[in-house]
């Protein structure tokens, strides 16, 4: 492409950008383009295996939904008892500290949801990292889905390194097996960067996300998740036709397409 053509394309992109964005059609500059999407007034369900995953993975998107009048419910799958409890302690003292930590994590999660404007938080209290061993988890999640009838569900993408994050996809898919649900799945990233097909510009919400994540003081005592989470969001902004800002990245697919992708992933890993 000659210099004049490049200049014309840049000018045309700048002028068309607001129009494309208004229709949700703005593309990124990557070879495989992703949709720049603006969360709206939907019925939203967020699955968070641990208390803080929801804000790290999609806190900015949640804030956008709330701003646009959406109904948002966050479901925390585990109770957080295996946080910073020292195994060297006696059995009775470990038990006491775990109960105290569960109370702390739930209090912090409630504060975080208030900051984001989330209407409801649900605590299923499964034991980490043994989501697969809780026979009631899928049934309880199915009841929540039946009640909410979500338009979309956020959850950790199934290629996440953390076993509880990966297991969350199985819990959702088992809970919806054989049911006529019609919603989109938005896989988010916490520990493991994914190859996104959907981006959300959270530049205007990043201060709110930082404030919400700051509520998790017991988590931040071990690791600076604010630094790492917002660093990833800053890196993701390089995909947009603009400079600076913060972006959350997702793998978006309809429920059955997500189920198919997850099944392929399991088949590849089982060697069949």
Mean pLDDT, residues 54-68: 98
Strands 184-188 and 152-156: parallel
Higher pLDDT residue, 110 or 27?
110
Cβ contact 200:188 at 8 Å: no
Cis, peptide link before residue 232, omega less than 30° from 0: no
pLDDT tens column, 118-143:
999 999 998 876 677 678 899 999 99
Range with lowest mean pLDDT among 6-15, 34-43, 162-171: 6-15
Ramachandran quadrant class, 24 (left: phi over 0; alpha: psi -120 to 50; beta: rest): left
pLDDT tens column, 77-88:
998 766 554 444
Higher pLDDT residue, 244 or 73?
73
Q: pLDDT averaged over the chain?
A: 85
Range with lowest mean pLDDT among 20-29, 54-63, 70-79, 191-200: 20-29
Q: Has domain 26-270 been given CATH number 3.40.50.300?
A: no
Higher pLDDT residue, 266 or 68?
68
Q: Where are the domains of the chain?
A: 26-270
Mean pLDDT, residues 145-170: 96
Q: What is the pTM of this model?
A: 0.84
Give the residue from 257, 246, 255, 206 showing the smallest Cα distance to 45.
255
Cβ contact 216:52 at 8 Å: yes
């Amino acid at each position: 492409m000659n210099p004049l053509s490049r200049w014309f394309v840049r000018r045309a992109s700048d002028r068309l950008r607001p129009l494309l964005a208004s229709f949700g059609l703005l593309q990124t500059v990557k070879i495989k383009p992703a949709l720049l999407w603006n969360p709206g007034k939907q019925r939203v369900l967020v699955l968070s295996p641990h208390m803080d995953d929801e804000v790290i993975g999609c806190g900015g998107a949640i804030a956008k939904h709330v701003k646009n009048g959406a109904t948002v419910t966050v479901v925390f799958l585990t109770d957080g008892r295996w946080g910073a409890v020292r195994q060297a302690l006696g059995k009775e003292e470990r038990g006491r500290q775990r109960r105290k930590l569960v109370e702390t994590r739930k209090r912090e999660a409630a504060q975080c949801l208030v900051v984001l404007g989330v209407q409801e938080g649900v605590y299923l209290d499964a034991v980490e990292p043994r989501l697969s061993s809780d026979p009631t988890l899928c049934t309880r999640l199915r009841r929540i889905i039946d009640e909410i009838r979500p338009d979309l569900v956020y959850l950790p993408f199934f290629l996440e390194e953390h076993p509880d994050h990966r297991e969350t996809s199985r819990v959702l898919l088992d809970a919806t097996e054989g049911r006529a649900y019609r919603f989109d799945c938005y896989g988010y990233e916490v520990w493991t960067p994914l190859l996104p097909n959907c981006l959300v510009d959270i530049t205007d919400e990043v201060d709110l996300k930082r404030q919400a994540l700051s509520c998790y003081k017991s988590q931040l005592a071990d690791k600076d998740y604010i630094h790492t989470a917002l660093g990833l969001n800053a890196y993701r902004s390089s995909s947009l036709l603009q400079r600076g800002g913060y972006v959350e990245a997702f793998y978006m697919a309809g429920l059955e397409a997500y189920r198919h992708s997850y099944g392929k992933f399991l088949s590849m890993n089982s060697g069949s």
